[in-house]
């Protein structure tokens, strides 16, 4: 089976397992795990921020990051198909007590006019106060779309002008970095706080980080523990992340090439594929998924009329060619 359902499906390589097995560890709740500390310092520095905090999931990193900007009874603005709005099971409302209002863009992009229209930091005792804006880069449900750095820079300038703050869900910021050549520090400079994942295309089995200022991270450390995310000798997992940063970032370019190949096979314009995710609009999504599976290619339905393909570390160039041949046949069968 060639599994294109998600880039979370990767399994640690032998070299990654060796790095994990030999990791130096300590109790991270005491901040005494040297491997976790090294990972946190390294990731903070990569993005030009003061500090970072290792978390078990990207969802927790997002909850901690957004709650550092937005309190109970306040709102965050985000795109309507953002992961924080759709795919975190309401955690921000359930845990933080915040609300969200959204703008909609088919490619998950920044729409500054819409954001300005929604923005309401102080409407007295009548309306929810906007405390922050959140952007997602790359944008998962918009098919791995990159948010151009110029748009992000304009958003940052606007936010500084009106005195509001920015969260970036950078679960796949590595893909944006490799696809565009934009330095990670430039993405870091856009955001007051970020979340990044090691467990997607980078191929670590577990692990994400919240990134931000020293005070925000200190407070997030308390909230992480409060929510049950204080982990002990977790350097074993942080070692996988460090290994991924050393060996699995630049190779994301191969995933992007493979995604273009698969897009072309499915009749999707490869120029609309920015990174490692391809969304194929099909009226027969159910049949498409079943027919592909029968020929050894697993793809994921996203609703009744779309199929998602994601390339990753465990999809070799040979796998991508084989999958493209299968999907070309499956896609050639007319819908209905």
Ligand X SMILES: *Cc1c(COP(=O)(O)O)cnc(C)c1O
Minimum CB–partner distance for residue 95 and ligand X (Å):
13
96 lines the binding site for ligand X (CB under 6 A)? no
Strand partners, 167: 134, 193
Pick between residue 91 and residue 112 the one whose CB is nearest to ligand X.
91
Q: Which stretch binds ligand X (CB under 6 A): 52-60, 184-192, 240-248, 263-271?
A: 52-60
Pick between residue 62 and residue 164 the one whose CB is nearest to ligand X.
62
208 lines the binding site for ligand X (CB under 6 A)? yes
CA-CA distance, 166 to 159, in Å (whole number)?
A: 7
Pick between residue 84 and residue 326 the one whose CB is nearest to ligand X.
84
Of the candidates 46, 166, 171, 178, which one interacts with ligand X according to CB under 6 A?
171
Pick between residue 180 and residue 276 the one whose CB is nearest to ligand X.
276
Q: Which stretch binds ligand X (CB under 6 A): 57-65, 155-163, 273-281, 316-324?
A: 57-65
Pick between residue 35 and residue 134 the one whose CB is nearest to ligand X.
134
Can you give the C-alpha Rg of the chain in angstroms? 20
Pick between residue 83 and residue 258 the one whose CB is nearest to ligand X.
83
Whole-number Cα distances in Å, 233 to 11, 13, 23, 65, 225: 21, 21, 10, 23, 15
Phi, psi of 163 (to 5 degrees): 75, 40
Q: Which residue is nearest to ligand X (CB)?
A: 58
167 lines the binding site for ligand X (CB under 6 A)? no
Two tokens, residue 170: 């950078």
- What's the per-residue H, E or C state across the chain? CEECCCCCCCCCCHHHHHHHHCCCCCCHHHCCCHHHHHHHHHHHHHCCCCEEEEECCHHHHHHHHHHCCCCCCEEEEEECCCHHHHCCCCHHHHHHCCEEEEECCCCCCCCHHHHHHHCCCCCHHHCCEEEEEEEECCECCCCCECCCHHHHHHHHHHHHHHCCEEEEEECCHHHHHHHHCCCHHHHHHHCCEEEEECCCCCCCCCCEEEEECHHHHHHHHHHHHHCCCCCCCCHHHHHHHHHHHHHCCCCHHHHHHHHHHHHHHCCCCHHHCCCCEEEEECCCHHHHHHHHHHCCEECEECCCCEEEEECCCCCCHHHHHHHHHHHHHHHHCCCC
147 lines the binding site for ligand X (CB under 6 A)? no
Pick between residue 61 and residue 331 the one whose CB is nearest to ligand X.
61
Q: Which stretch binds ligand X (CB under 6 A): 174-182, 197-205, 254-262, 286-294?
A: 197-205
Pick between residue 34 and residue 230 the one whose CB is nearest to ligand X.
230
83 lines the binding site for ligand X (CB under 6 A)? yes
Of the candidates 20, 197, 236, 244, which one interacts with ligand X according to CB under 6 A?
197
58 lines the binding site for ligand X (CB under 6 A)? yes
Pick between residue 140 and residue 164 the one whose CB is nearest to ligand X.
140
Of the candidates 23, 39, 54, 59, which one interacts with ligand X according to CB under 6 A?
59
134 lines the binding site for ligand X (CB under 6 A)? no
169 lines the binding site for ligand X (CB under 6 A)? yes
Minimum CB–partner distance for residue 60 and ligand X (Å):
7
57 lines the binding site for ligand X (CB under 6 A)? yes
Minimum CB–partner distance for residue 312 and ligand X (Å):
12
7 lines the binding site for ligand X (CB under 6 A)? no
CA-CA distance, 122 to 329, in Å (whole number)?
A: 56
Interface ranges with ligand X (CB under 6 A): 57-59, 62, 83, 136, 140, 169, 171, 197, 199-200, 208
């Amino acid at each position: 089976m060639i599994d294109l359902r998600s880039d979370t499906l990767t399994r640690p390589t032998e070299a990654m397992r060796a790095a994990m097995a030999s990791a130096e560890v300590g109790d991270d709740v005491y901040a005494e795990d040297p491997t976790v500390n090294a990972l946190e310092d390294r990731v903070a520095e990569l993005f030009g921020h003061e500090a970072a905090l290792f978390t078990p999931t990207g969802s927790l990193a997002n909850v901690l990051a957004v709650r550092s900007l937005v309190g109970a009874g306040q709102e965050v603005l985000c795109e309507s198909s953002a992961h924080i709005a759709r795919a975190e099971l309401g955690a921000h409302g359930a845990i933080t007590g915040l609300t969200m209002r959204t703008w909609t863009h088919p490619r998950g992009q920044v729409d500054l006019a819409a954001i300005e229209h929604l923005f309401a930091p102080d409407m007295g005792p009548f309306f929810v106060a906007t405390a922050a804006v959140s952007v997602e880069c790359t944008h998962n449900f918009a098919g791995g779309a990159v948010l151009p750095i110029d748009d992000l820079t304009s958003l940052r300038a606007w936010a500084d002008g009106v005195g509001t703050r920015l969260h970036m869900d950078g679960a796949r910021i590595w893909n944006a970095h490799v696809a565009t050549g934009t330095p990670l520090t430039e993405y870091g400079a856009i955001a007051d706080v970020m979340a990044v994942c090691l467990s997607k295309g980078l191929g670590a089995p577990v692990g994400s980080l919240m990134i931000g200022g020293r005070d925000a991270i200190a407070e997030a450390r308390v909230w992480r523990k409060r929510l049950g995310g204080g982990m002990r000798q977790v350097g074993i997992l942080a070692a996988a992340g460090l290994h991924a940063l050393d060996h699995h970032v630049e190779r994301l370019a191969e995933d992007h090439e493979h995604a273009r190949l698969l897009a072309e096979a499915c009749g999707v314009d490869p120029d609309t594929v920015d990174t490692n995710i391809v969304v194929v609009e099909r009226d027969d999504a159910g049949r498409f998924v079943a027919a592909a599976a029968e020929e050894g290619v697993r793809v994921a339905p996203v609703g009744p009329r779309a199929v998602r393909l994601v390339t990753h570390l465990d999809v070799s160039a040979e796998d991508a060619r084989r999958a493209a041949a299968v999907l070309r046949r499956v896609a050639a069968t007319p819908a209905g």
